[in-house]
Structure 1
Amino acid sequence: MDNNKKIENNSINNNPEGEIYDSGFYVSVRFPNSRPYYFHTYDDSLEIDTKVVVETIRGLELRTIISPIKEIASLKSETPLKPILRRASLQDLEQAEENIELAKSAYVVCENAIEKLGLEMKLLHAEYTLDRNKVIFLYVADNRVDFRELLKDLAAALRCRIELRQIGSRDRSRLIGGLGPCGLPLCCNTFLGEFDGISINMAKNQFLALNIQKLSGHCGKLICCLKYEDDQYSELRKGLPKIGFKIKYEDEIYKITSINVLTGDVRLENAESSQSVSLDEVLKIIDKTRGNNDE
């Protein structure tokens, strides 16, 4: 394997932010362990699963198209886009495979250097850009790491540009993968593009037991799937009484302690007893009480 063999490209756009195009097309391109990105092209024959070479701020990368091609005019905002440089050639595909093996060697070099320098950081991943101008190392660390000496050692050993990127716990789970509590592969490792903000209020909104350990994922953060049905639960809860609301039922005063919007069951409790009542019946009692008060 020739470690010095590189794919050259002389048409790279030096604008790191991309350009705003008024003609052509755009497609969504998958990046591992990251959300998809839009790229511009004039080739209207590109299809889903086509391997392409794209220009990013990191350099040249081999990636996969994951959406149908669309006219640039249909893009809602004037978004700067980077270009798709070409369909992947046989040479591109072969070099990408070689880069995987080179990255494994680079990983070992970096790991040994970290150990030699006594740095408190955990190396997770190494990856070469397609053109081999840069190798990117991903790591996690509890505290800030001074890796200036590490950069010097890696640059001397690997003879290319070095990027050391610290990632958070959610990105770490996306990178490593695993199985969720549902028994399926982690959403972040399979299809999630971006991480949404997740709050404990979403669990409350869905009447889930507030057991933080059970509601936390591999990353230690609240599980992303709390977001999936939150809007539907919010819609279903419109007009429902709040937890703690008191009603008179069978000549006794009860407090509403839980509502299951899916089954339509409401749990009523007081000091002496508790019972389950249908949501429809509770709403009728509340409406009747309000009607009597209006009179």
Structure 2
Amino acid sequence: MGCSGCSSGGGCGTGGTPPAGCENHGTCGTSGCNKLNVYDWLADMDMPANYKPFDIVEVRFKGSRKEFYVNHENLYLEMGEMVVVEPNTGGYDIGHVSITGELVRLQLKKSKVAPESVTKKIYRKVTDADIKKWQAAKDLEWETMHRARKLALDLGLSMKISDVDYQGDKTKATFYYTADGRVDFRELIKRMAEAFRIRIEMRQIGMRQEASRLGGIGSCGRELCCSTWLTDFKTVSTSAARYQNLSLNTLKLAGQCGKLKCCLNYELDSYMDALKDIPNNIERIETQRGTAFLQKTDIFKKLMWFSYPGEESWIPLTTDRVKEINQLNKEGIKPEEIGAVELEEVVEEKPVSYDYENVVGQDSLTRLDDRNRKKRRGNKGKRKPDGIRPEPKAEGKARAAGQGGPRKSDAPDAEAKQKSKRRFRGNNRRGKPGGPQQPGATPNQ
């Protein structure tokens, strides 16, 4: 059975499979464990002594589908438990309890569902046999979806089957598909019924619902809102981007579903409230100095920047001052002073230098790095004179003491011999002894 800590389908409790996407047993925040979870903030409140628990329970199924059921047997249910419920057609289905108690009453009010209209019942809690049968049905969904896609391609239907949802008793499957228009899939249903030997239901969904069922990562780096917590889809228009001064670039404003991002509506109310104090249709103001044109507006600071033609400096004005000047212009009056706002000077922060001299081992490591760097350098850049070679240690010590013989380079013809050797080597590299240099060759090759 599933535990009360998550609703991953029995993954956290014993006898179930690990939750999809992690192995933290319901303690993480990914969609595999906590998809569309609801925090019951009324669970810890003390109820009156004569309180009767609310007998309607919200049950969650695959994807974002949630339905209400009547707990007519007054079973003790906790969030995350798996229960056997009554489906729309024959048989039974298995889902997870998402809300219980008084929070369901608020959810019914939000969904505009009357408690008297809820008639479907909760049969019982799941058993081990129910879980095995439900798991076997879920294992068939991936293969069934791909076989159904192949059948649709063979029939030449312009539709995309995006997901398959098996009923808990493995007697019915719901196929979710997207299409631009209406599709005649009667022949497809006949072939799928013959291939799968189950009852078939086709349900067309939109692009947003498809993204909600499949999930994914948004441009913000987080999981899609529709696949984690968002249950209802509100209309999103390009005016929401205009009010927020966003560029009307469809590639940036579109989400995984190809539609406008739902998050464009999140801060829209704040922008609408801030825009109430911003004067509309004021693109220029007239002064005795000339005509100043609007360049920029900060709706939260309630500042508007104007500039005169041919000048690079922008003059900040408050919205009240802009309204005042605009009213004077309507009366035919041009003010002398524009009344610029003195903005607060931005104090530049000096870079902070951190002292690491007191770190344990820091000085010794620095000295060791310097020593190794000097060793790697060696004697690079120090060329010895021609004819002088390094001496053996014993010979050098003896000569320093005055006991060694003369060096080879001390002979009168030593320098001439060295020059002839170098000349002979250079000629051999050119190809001919003493001949001209071959084209394309350099003396040091």
Q: Secondary structure, in 3 states, of the residue corresponding to 2:195?
A: helix
Deviation at 1:128, TM superposition (A): 0.9
Partners of 2:68 and 2:315 lie apart in 1 by 52
Deviation at 1:55, TM superposition (A): 3.0
* 1:29 aligns to 2:59 (yes or no): yes
* TM-score of the pair, normalised by structure 1: 0.77
* 1:239 aligns to 2:239 (yes or no): no
Structure 1 stretch displaced more, 260-269 or 170-179: 260-269
Match of 1:126 in 2: 164
Q: Secondary structure, in 3 states, of the residue corresponding to 1:66?
A: strand
Deviation at 1:23, TM superposition (A): 8.5
Read off the aligned partner of 1:62 and give its amino acid letter. Answer: I
Deviation at 1:218, TM superposition (A): 1.6
Match of 1:57 in 2: 88
User: Are 2:283 and 2:294, in contact at CA under 8 Å, matched by a contact in 1?
Assistant: yes
* 1:198 aligns to 2:228 (yes or no): no
- For residues 224-273 of structure 1, give each alpha carbon's deviation from its aligned partner in whole angstroms, at most 9, with x where no partner exists: 00111111211122221126443357944334354333455534356434
Match of 1:173 in 2: 211
Match of 1:282 in 2: 318
Distance 1:23 1:155, change over 3 A: same
Structure 1 stretch displaced more, 220-229 or 252-261: 252-261
Aligned pairs for 1:6-25 (under 5 A) are 24-25=54-55
Gaps of 5+ in 1: 1-21
Partners of 1:73 and 1:140 lie apart in 2 by 34
Distance 1:125 1:72, change over 3 A: closer
User: Are 1:121 and 1:140, in contact at CA under 8 Å, matched by a contact in 2?
Assistant: yes
Partners of 2:94 and 2:287 lie apart in 1 by 66
Distance 1:159 1:250, change over 3 A: farther
* 1:45 aligns to 2:81 (yes or no): no
RMSD: 3.2
User: Are 1:35 and 1:194, in contact at CA under 8 Å, matched by a contact in 2?
Assistant: no
Deviation at 1:206, TM superposition (A): 1.5
Partners of 1:202 and 1:132 lie apart in 2 by 45
* 1:147 aligns to 2:185 (yes or no): yes
Partners of 1:36 and 1:275 lie apart in 2 by 58
User: Are 1:128 and 1:134, in contact at CA under 8 Å, matched by a contact in 2?
Assistant: yes
Aligned pairs for 1:56-135 (under 5 A) are 56-57=87-88, 60-70=92-102, 76=109, 78-79=114-115, 80-81=117-118, 82-135=120-173
Read off the aligned partner of 1:284 and give its amino acid letter. Answer: D
User: Are 2:307 and 2:315, in contact at CA under 8 Å, matched by a contact in 1?
Assistant: no
2:266 to 224, 228, 233: 228
Deviation at 1:274, TM superposition (A): 6.1
Structure 1 stretch displaced more, 156-165 or 111-120: 111-120
Structure with greater strand percent: 1
Read off the aligned partner of 2:123 and give its amino acid letter. Answer: L
* 1:184 aligns to 2:222 (yes or no): yes
Match of 2:349 in 1: none
2:175 to 127, 133, 137: 137
Partners of 2:307 and 2:260 lie apart in 1 by 30
Gaps of 5+ in 2: 1-51, 334-445
Distance 1:91 1:269, change over 3 A: farther
Partners of 1:73 and 1:213 lie apart in 2 by 41
Match of 2:384 in 1: none
Distance 1:114 1:257, change over 3 A: same
Deviation at 1:167, TM superposition (A): 2.2
**Max Rg structure:** 2
Match of 1:163 in 2: 201
Partners of 1:90 and 1:120 lie apart in 2 by 41
Distance 1:159 1:54, change over 3 A: same
Read off the aligned partner of 2:71 and give its amino acid letter. Answer: T
Deviation at 1:216, TM superposition (A): 1.0
User: Are 1:135 and 1:161, in contact at CA under 8 Å, matched by a contact in 2?
Assistant: yes
Read off the aligned partner of 2:195 and give its amino acid letter. Answer: A
Partners of 2:234 and 2:290 lie apart in 1 by 44
User: Are 1:49 and 1:64, in contact at CA under 8 Å, matched by a contact in 2?
Assistant: yes
Identity of matched residues, %:
31
Deviation at 1:65, TM superposition (A): 2.6
Read off the aligned partner of 2:96 and give its amino acid letter. Answer: T
Match of 1:207 in 2: 245
Aligned length: 272
Deviation at 1:72, TM superposition (A): 7.2
User: Are 2:244 and 2:271, in contact at CA under 8 Å, matched by a contact in 1?
Assistant: yes
Structure 1 stretch displaced more, 200-209 or 43-52: 43-52
User: Are 1:267 and 1:274, in contact at CA under 8 Å, matched by a contact in 2?
Assistant: no
Deviation at 1:170, TM superposition (A): 1.6
* Higher RCO structure (Cα 8 Å, ≥6 apart): 1
